[in-house]
Structure 1
Amino acid sequence: MQHFIGVVPPEDFKAKVIHFQKKWSGNTITEVVEPHITLKAQGGLTPDRKWLDQVKEACWRTNPFRVQLGGPAFFGEDVLYLSIRSEKIYDLHKQMVQIAEPTSKQVDDYFELKHFVPHLTLAKTTYGLSKEDLVDMAEAGDKEFRPFPAFEVDQVRVYKEGRANTYTKLEDLPLGSIPRMQS
């Protein structure tokens, strides 16, 4: 079972992204995972979850911060995403990588640390769309999401893999505060 850690946009924007993604028939990304900004990819996040307590502590020590969404962009010709601007997300990403201790190959394979580009994926060719579809989707996305919103990040979400290549919420971790113990 694999895991990754992400930031989920506010519910209203998340719903808008899903609605937009579903306008392209054959776009199966909505069956794989909800819209999110990957904070820490799978590398080093072992099935035993020994890293989870340290991740929680890092979240508690991190104050909430803002991210600014930006225009559509591409990784090569096969991945379309909305860009993200936020200095704080880089700091939290680095902490998560240090906790997970991925191999240098995993860091390279998952584009982490110096290769990290925060983004919110809209579509991939591996999820049913053509390269031409992605170009059309980028043009439509620039109109659909403009003006690009900013939002406050006050928690991160740990995802677990259920069925092969399908991810769901495992746990939400608050930023900047130690959760109260249940009595």
Structure 2
Amino acid sequence: MKVEYFIGIVPPEEYLERIEHFQNKWIKRSGVEPHITLKAQGGLTPDKKWIDKVQKVCDTFKPFQVSLDKPKYFGDHILYLSVVSHHLHKLHQEIVQVISPSEDLIEHYFELEAFVPHLTLGKEQYGGNISTGLSKKELKEMERLADKELTPYPHFEVNFIRVYELNIEMQRYERYIDISLSN
């Protein structure tokens, strides 16, 4: 059984619901709640020994501001809301450093210098995963409507991060634990 984790930042509840409502026009069942990816799966092992290391980073990291911004693309097949924050990159780097995944994993998951903070809205479908994939035309429509329906883009304080765990039966990432930032 494959256990997977990743770490994200959750937007405020009312905006989270707004994004979910927006996504539901195209995607029947998303594989995870809307989030800003902070640390991808690489190095987050099933033994969970890394959680204590992440906790230590968070214990010394002050809450900080984040702003969501205009939709952009990775290539032409992943539509996301861009993220503006001076401290997000620093937190990402500190977490990657304490977990110390291999260079291959850092490269595979676009971490450190390649890290682009984002909140995914939709992806083009690949192969058989029809449930979460969209056509290019649907992505373009999603992009067009995002600027109307998701504005004004929020500015909010991050005071915790969320660790997600893959629920194999549900084929969905679910909240495993929230870790508070330093007060």
What residue in structure 1 maps to residue 103 of structure 2? 104
Residue type of the alignment partner of 1:20:
F
What residue in structure 1 maps to residue 145 of structure 2? 140
Match of 1:149 among 139, 147, 154: 154
Match of 1:130 among 126, 131, 135: 135
Residue type of the alignment partner of 2:134:
L
SS across alignment from 2:41: coil
Match of 1:160 among 154, 159, 165: 165
Residue type of the alignment partner of 1:148:
Y
What residue in structure 2 maps to residue 61 of structure 1? 60
What residue in structure 2 maps to residue 89 of structure 1? 88
**TM-score normalised according to structure 1 size:** 0.92
SS across alignment from 1:77: coil
What residue in structure 1 maps to residue 129 of structure 2? none
**Is 1:176 matched with 2:182?**
yes
**TM-score normalised according to structure 2 size:** 0.92
Equivalent-residue separation in structure 2 for 1:31 and 1:141 (angstroms): 17
What do the CA deviations read for 1:88-115 (whole angstroms, capped 9, x no partner)?
A: 0000000111122111111111111011
What residue in structure 2 maps to residue 9 of structure 1? 11
Residue type of the alignment partner of 2:179:
L
What do the CA deviations read for 1:1-38 (whole angstroms, capped 9, x no partner)?
A: 011000000100000000000112xx25x431000001
Equivalent-residue separation in structure 1 for 2:87 and 2:182 (angstroms): 13
Residue type of the alignment partner of 2:150:
F
Residue type of the alignment partner of 1:174:
S
Residue type of the alignment partner of 2:96:
V
What do the CA deviations read for 1:28-64 (whole angstroms, capped 9, x no partner)?
A: 5x43100000100000011101110010111111110
Identity %: 47
Report the CA distance between 1:71 and its aligned residue: 0.4
The Cα RMSD (Å) is 1.2
Structure 2 unaligned segments of length 5 or more: list them: 126-131
Structure 1 unaligned segments of length 5 or more: list them: 178-183
SS across alignment from 2:30: helix
SS across alignment from 1:146: coil
